[in-house]
Amino acid sequence: MYSVEILLLATAATTLASLQRAETHASYTPNNLTVAFCCEVLELAGLGDLILYPGAESYDERVGSYWSEAAQLTPTCFVQPRDAVEVAQVVSTLVESNNTYPCKFAVRSAGHTTWAGSNNIEDGVTIDLGLINNTIYYAENSTAGVGPGARWLGVYKTLDALNIAAAGGRAGTVGVVLSSGAIVDANNETNPDLFRALKGGNNNFGIVTRFDLEVFETTLLWGGVVVYPNDTTPAQLQALKNFCDKIESNPYGSAIGIWQFTSQTDATIIINAYDYTAAVERPAVYDEFLAIPGNISDSLRITNMSDLTQELEQAAGYRDSFFTLTFKNDIRMYEKAIQMHNSYVELIKASEAAGNWTLQDMFQPLPAIFAKHSVEMGGNMLGLDRFDENLVLWQTYLAWQAPDQDDLFHSFGDAFIAELKDYAISIGADNPFIYLDYAYKTQDPLASYGKENYDHIKAMAEKYDPLGVFQTMVPGGFKISKAGEPIK
């Protein structure tokens, strides 16, 4: 990421004018003000064309577009701005209305965060950025401007056709709307302090309206998915552990290992996903994986980025939750996590779990070289540069069907991470990092970034959102004002 465009709060004069407008809105008296007022002030501000109300087919479509059914809350209305200026108008209007009624709002881009309330709201307005989803390539500076509502598949399809690619982690310019209604750029020269904070700091500062990604020329890639039976587990764990240690000298390669149990098949399978960013068949760095016999299916091939991405789609239509931990790249942690996968399959089977369900456990290498590259690119908030050893990022993922079993499945996830964390501590293989994108709401990613980064996020939230709009009016997401004591 090169830079971002972001929205700040409106100036005091504008705020006052709209406040008076809202207060004199004839159809409300102090006695009958309700949350419906929050949508009506948006209508009054001339934004009626952007609003979707319950009962409309388009409203139901947007509710249903949240990937996890658990996140499909029903806001008082959705508002769908088409550009940064409209985002600014929506935010200013809602902030101004606070003087009359305590309007709450949510911010949603692709709506993939699984837990309820992170990106949506009951009794409030959801600002849905889904229409700001374009990808524009600028040859003059090798940059692609990407809207926050874009999906990676759409981005890759656009770029594949031009024989270029972008890596999510290398974004460098971001457009952001702040709670003042101001639209500002953040990059390594303009608002560099905000830019750094945005890389990992979640929605504590403003609303990002454009990401500028650095692109690079690419030919085709090698990769795909190889599926194996459960009984190859010991060899897979060792190959994954060793692969993580090899990344520093093999920067083109990546590998992810997924253990997936589904109640429909009553079996655990192992899904290995490989991507090698050069058109080379079976590169040597994968030899240890490729020597494991007995695969069930193998799609390895040379192809483009969008084709590879499409293959990793996960089934929608469930209630889902992710939980995450990070550990040292120690084989005992891999073994323990999969022993626990097996025992939790039995525990869930023995519970009142109804309908179809899935338990999936995933390992992603997080070698020390990643943090070094991030620092070279200007740094971020994750704090991984505090550690000089190879790490592994672990995710446990539960999917189920019954709305009245949310608590049951969340309790399995919470218990799983607590037990695995205790084991990691007991053998000295623990690491405090919590990857925000995979964290459940009971986890504390911002505190896991370390004191220096925690302090920076706090300072930037105060500097760019002095009224605390994103702390009090936007309850969803990981809030710096609610984070625990930062971990050293």
Ligand X SMILES: *[C@@H]1O[C@H](CO)[C@@H](O)[C@H](O)[C@H]1NC(C)=O
Contacts with ligand FAD, residue ranges (CB under 6 A): 67, 106-113, 118-119, 129, 148, 202-203, 207-208, 314, 437, 476-477
Burial of 270 (0-12, 13-18, 19+ CB in 10 A): buried
Residue 94 to residues 18, 87, 100, 138: CA-CA distances in angstroms? Answer: 10, 11, 10, 34
Query: Are 319 and 409 contacting, i.e. CB atoms less than 8 angstroms apart?
Result: yes
Name the minimum Å distance from CB 352 to ligand FAD.
Answer: 26
Is residue 249 involved in binding ligand X (CB under 6 A)? no
The helix/strand/coil state of 333 is helix
CA distance 483 to 454: 9
Name the minimum Å distance from CB 110 to ligand FAD.
Answer: 3
3-class secondary structure per residue, 71-106:
HCCCCCEEECCCCHHHHHHHHHHHHHHCCCCCCCEE
Name the minimum Å distance from CB 309 to ligand FAD.
Answer: 9
Looking at 12, 24, 32, 57, which residue binds ligand X (CB under 6 A)?
Answer: 32
Among residues 139 and 488, whose Cβ is nearest to ligand X?
139
DSSP 8-state code for residue 487: P
Name the minimum Å distance from CB 362 to ligand FAD.
Answer: 10
Among residues 22 and 81, whose Cβ is nearest to ligand FAD?
81
Is residue 189 involved in binding ligand X (CB under 6 A)? yes
Query: Are 79 and 51 contacting, i.e. CB atoms less than 8 angstroms apart?
Result: yes
Among residues 81 and 432, whose Cβ is nearest to ligand FAD?
81
Residue 351 site contact among ligand X, ligand FAD, none (CB < 5 to 8 Å, cut-off depends on kind): none
Is residue 233 involved in binding ligand X (CB under 6 A)? yes
Residue 477 site contact among ligand FAD, ligand X, none (CB < 5 to 8 Å, cut-off depends on kind): ligand FAD
Is residue 92 involved in binding ligand X (CB under 6 A)? no
Maximum Cα–Cα distance across the chain: 75
Residue 267 site contact among ligand FAD, ligand X, none (CB < 5 to 8 Å, cut-off depends on kind): ligand X
Is residue 320 involved in binding ligand X (CB under 6 A)? no
Name the minimum Å distance from CB 190 to ligand X.
Answer: 10
Binding mask 337-366 for ligand X (x = CB under 6 A): -----x--x---------xx----------
Among residues 320 and 330, whose Cβ is nearest to ligand FAD?
320
Element (H or E) spanning 343, and its range?
Answer: helix 331-350
Is residue 469 involved in binding ligand X (CB under 6 A)? yes
Element (H or E) spanning 252, and its range?
Answer: none
Name the minimum Å distance from CB 355 to ligand X.
Answer: 4
Name the minimum Å distance from CB 215 to ligand FAD.
Answer: 19
Name the minimum Å distance from CB 114 to ligand X.
Answer: 19
Is residue 140 involved in binding ligand X (CB under 6 A)? yes
Among residues 232 and 360, whose Cβ is nearest to ligand FAD?
360
Looking at 86, 212, 320, 330, which residue binds ligand X (CB under 6 A)?
Answer: 212
Count the neighbouring beta carbons within 10 Å of the beta carbon of residue 406. Answer: 16
10-14: Cβ within 8 A, 24+ apart = 10/88, 10/92, 10/95, 10/96, 10/180, 10/181, 10/182, 11/180, 11/181, 11/182, 14/92, 14/181
Q: Do β-strands 297-298 and 358-366 pair in parallel, antiparallel, or remain unpaired?
A: unpaired
Tell me the residue number closest to ligand FAD, measured at CB: 477
Name the minimum Å distance from CB 470 to ligand FAD.
Answer: 8
Name the minimum Å distance from CB 15 to ligand FAD.
Answer: 21
Residue 148 site contact among ligand FAD, ligand X, none (CB < 5 to 8 Å, cut-off depends on kind): ligand FAD
Chain-centroid distance, C-alpha 221: 25
Q: Which stretch binds ligand X (CB under 6 A): 106-114, 303-311, 404-412, 418-426?
A: 303-311
CA distance 344 to 336: 12
DSSP 137-180: EEGGGTEEEE-TT--HHHHHHHHHTTTEEEEEEEEEEEEEEETE
CA distance 484 to 481: 9
Please, which of residues 146-175 interact with ligand X by CB under 6 A?
154, 160-161, 172-173
Residue whose tokens read 């519970």: 351
> Among 302, 356, 1, which Cα is nearest to 148's?
1
Q: Do β-strands 2-9 and 164-178 pair in parallel, antiparallel, or remain unpaired?
A: parallel
Residues that bind ligand X (CB under 6 A): 2-3, 27-29, 32, 98, 102, 130-131, 133, 138, 140-141, 143, 154, 160-161, 172-173, 188-189, 212, 226, 230, 233, 261, 264, 267-268, 290, 295, 298, 300, 303-304, 306-307, 342, 345, 355-356, 401, 467-469, 472-473
